[in-house]
Amino acid sequence: MNETHIVTIERHIIEEERRRGASGSFSDILTDMAFAAKVISRQVNMAGLVDILGGTGTRNVQGEAVQKLDVFAQDVIYRAMDHGGRLCCMASEEFEEYIPIPDKFPAGDYVLVFDPLDGSSNIDLNVSIGTIFALYRKVSDAERGSLEDCLQPGLQQLAAGYVVYGSSTMMVYSAGRGVHGFTLDPSIGEFILSHPDIRIPDPPVRSYSVNEAYFDRWSPAMQRFMTDLKSGDASWSGGYSARYIGSLVSDFHRTLLQGGLFMYPADGKSPKGKLRLVYEANPLAFIAEQAGGAAIDGVQRILERTPEGLHERTPLFIGSSTLVEAVGSYLGSEG
């Protein structure tokens, strides 16, 4: 008889809650997130069929073109979360300000931050995209949250996760007790545990992930690291393949499963890098560390940074600890 247990994400979340002796609110938010992910996944799969491709003609707060599927994903997550009485506020990459739970609904003690659909420039190309999220506990006295609640250091995250809409849809989450991956079976509409207790391999499969077209804009230390990574004489250098999808969740997902190093450095054009600390770097850093990996901005551990703004950008180096330490030893000495 096949002894493998079949565990749905809902069952897993409830069992985690029992182990922690938690209240249930927290589990309900994760379960609602899994539900929203299924709805978004269905729509992503339909994107080539329905008249949803292309821009809406509007721009988000970063000045980038917003595509219809981003708006859809934003709306689904918001509507799955606004009325449950568990959140006090939310913050989304698509909104300039944080979003208090409306007065008509009860407010709770948790804060949800999310990037509803990352990598949206890839939608038209049938390249994998993703959703990223994190949960914090409210720290202010404001009933419906405040900016302070959304700008907590990543170390305060209670849970974080992402969904990758790839050749299959997967949801990966951590509530501070390891990292667990679930694959959506679309025929029954359930996320099933497929990757229990994920650890980032170290030593990794030798691959690095960076937009190397920007090499000339990088600092001398970053350029030196890249050159040495490929052909240096350190134990961690040489023998690499380059893998860059240009879709953060997918590039991170590969790095999580195979090990390696994902980089989005600062450069002459984007002195603070491109990725967002609150919505992208912090949740993925939490997951990387829970899986035995590491994440830095070049100098500092990502999770120790206190965000100054909701849409603050940061350089990001994330993956197998050995490689994150290696790049840190180059960039940390830059001065």
| Chain positions contacting ligand AHM, by CB under 6 A | 64, 118-121, 211, 246-248, 274
Q: Which does 289 bind (CB under 5 to 8 A by kind): ligand AHM, Mg ion, none?
A: none
Q: Are 312 and 153 in contact (CB under 8 A)?
A: no
In the bound state with ligand AHM, the residue whose beta carbon lies nearer, of 118 and 149, is 118
**Ordered DSSP codes for 211-256:** -GGGGGGS-HHHHHHHHHHHH-SSTT-S--EE---S-HHHHHHHHH
In the bound state with Mg ion, the residue whose beta carbon lies nearer, of 286 and 330, is 286
Q: Hey, which residues does 208 pair with through a beta bridge?
A: 242, 261
In the bound state with Mg ion, the residue whose beta carbon lies nearer, of 198 and 278, is 278
In the complex, residue closest to Mg ion by CB: 118
User: Rounded to an integer, what distance in angstroms lies between the CA atom of residue 39 and that of residue 26?
Assistant: 21
In the bound state with Mg ion, the residue whose beta carbon lies nearer, of 115 and 202, is 115
Q: How far is the CB of 25 from ligand AHM (least distance, A)?
A: 29
How does DSSP classify residue 144?
A: T
- Under the binding rule (CB under 5 A), the answer on residue 118 touching Mg ion is yes
Phi and psi at residue 55, to the nearest 5°:
-80, 160
Q: Mask 98-117, x = binds Mg ion (CB under 5 A)?
A: -----------------x--
Amino acid at 322: T
Q: How far is the CB of 58 from ligand AHM (least distance, A)?
A: 14
Does the CA dihedral 216-217-218-219 come out positive or negative? positive
Q: Which does 120 bind (CB under 5 to 8 A by kind): Mg ion, ligand AHM, none?
A: ligand AHM
In the bound state with ligand AHM, the residue whose beta carbon lies nearer, of 36 and 66, is 66
Amino acid at 101: I
Instruction: Name the site residues for Mg ion (rule: CB under 5 A).
Output: 115, 118
